[in-house]
Chains A and B, each alone.
Chain A
Amino acid sequence: MRRVRGKLLLFTAVVVVAAGCATGEEWSTWYEHRTHFASYEHLTFSTRNTEGSAPKVTRQDITLARDEGWWGKPITVSQEQILER
């Protein structure tokens, strides 16, 4: 009885893992966009704020978003084009 239960568990685990496996193409897509999240904080922010829910944004989120370029590195003038130290 214990053996049967063990085999069932193993089978279920294999099915779950196999169902969750990505194809080669999917892995390739992920690999090309693995920098989708700039940091762990960015990932946390995105999972916390899903579409349709009221956004929860902290002051630190705003600062990190700019520093780490969460929404893309902007095209802008450099400080050295305007000022000298």
Chain B
Amino acid sequence: MKGRRAVAVVLALLTLTGGVAFAAPPNDRVLAADQYTTDKSRRLGATHVRALQDLNAGIYHCWPWVETQKSSIGFYRPKGAQQDDRYLAIRIYIEQDPSPVFGKMKFEERSAAMFSRYVGPLLKRMTRDDALANDPSLDGFTAILEWMKQAPPINGRPVHETVAIFIDKASALDYLAGRADIRTLAGRARVLGFDGETALGPITLAPT
């Protein structure tokens, strides 16, 4: 009888620990601290690694239709920045059913729709950790939103549309504190568009 109970306990433990390991998000989504190229970014990466892992886990568990890739989360510098501005960046791929209405919109309109759906909630998640949000070395936030283009694949490869949204810290904090609405935030953000691998340059989000 004792033996049976022990087996049951072991099985239960195995099931539980196995379940936890199975449900864990991939641990390569956050850029490792030693991959940064400057002292400022290395310090940010090392100090806030836990907050970034929590951000990754939150997205993984709460937004199952959203995917991140390796090194999608980190304190990156916008390409071409003159100084070492460090923005907390996250890149997400948004899985959605094909929609004729969405497909017929202009690129700027699709981008605006994605902005209003995801940027606010992302900023809230990215600033959940007070120590991170108040770190004076943090200069802003980057959200890279990507979705499948509603067009036939090219050589069997699906094409993605992407927008990269750069928001300085003051604008993000104004929005989060309720001093600016999402339209105001969109107006203050710098947005770059991409059709597949082709850069479309800065775009103005169409009003939604």
Contacts and interface: CB of A to CB of B under 8 A. Distances in A.
A62 B91 CA distance: 16
Given A74-B159, A75-B160, A84 B37 contact: yes
A20 interface: no
B89 A83 contact: yes
A71 B31 CA distance: 26
A76 interface: yes
Nearest to B153: A72
A60 interface: yes
Contacts, number: 86
Given A60-B22, A83-B142, A84-B37, A77 B71 contact: no
A75 B23 contact: no
Given A66-B69, A82-B192, A85-B36, A76 B160 contact: yes
A73 interface: yes
A67 interface: yes
B199 A77 contact: yes
B76 A76 contact: no
Contacts of A77: 160, 162, 194, 196-197, 199
Contacts of B158: 71-72, 74-75
Interface string B41-68: 1000000000000000000110010010
B29 to A, nearest CB: 10
A59 B25 CA distance: 9
Given A81-B79, A83-B77, A85-B76, A76 B196 contact: yes
Interface in B5-19: none
Nearest to A85: B37
A79 B159 contact: no
A19 B67 CA distance: 44
Interface in A49-69: 59-60, 62-63, 66-67
Sorted from nearest, which 8 A-B pairs have the closest CB atoms?
Answer: A83-B76, A76-B160, A77-B194, A75-B196, A84-B77, A82-B164, A66-B67, A75-B159
Interface of A: 59-60, 62-63, 66-67, 71-85
Given A63-B25, A76-B162, A80-B79, 13 more contacts: A60-B22, A66-B69, A67-B26, A67-B69, A75-B158, A76-B160, A76-B194, A77-B194, A77-B196, A81-B194, A82-B79, A82-B142, A83-B79
Interface of B: 22-23, 25-26, 31, 35-37, 41, 60-61, 64, 67, 69-72, 74, 76-79, 81, 89, 91, 93, 95, 142, 144, 146, 148, 153-154, 156-160, 162, 164, 192, 194, 196-197, 199
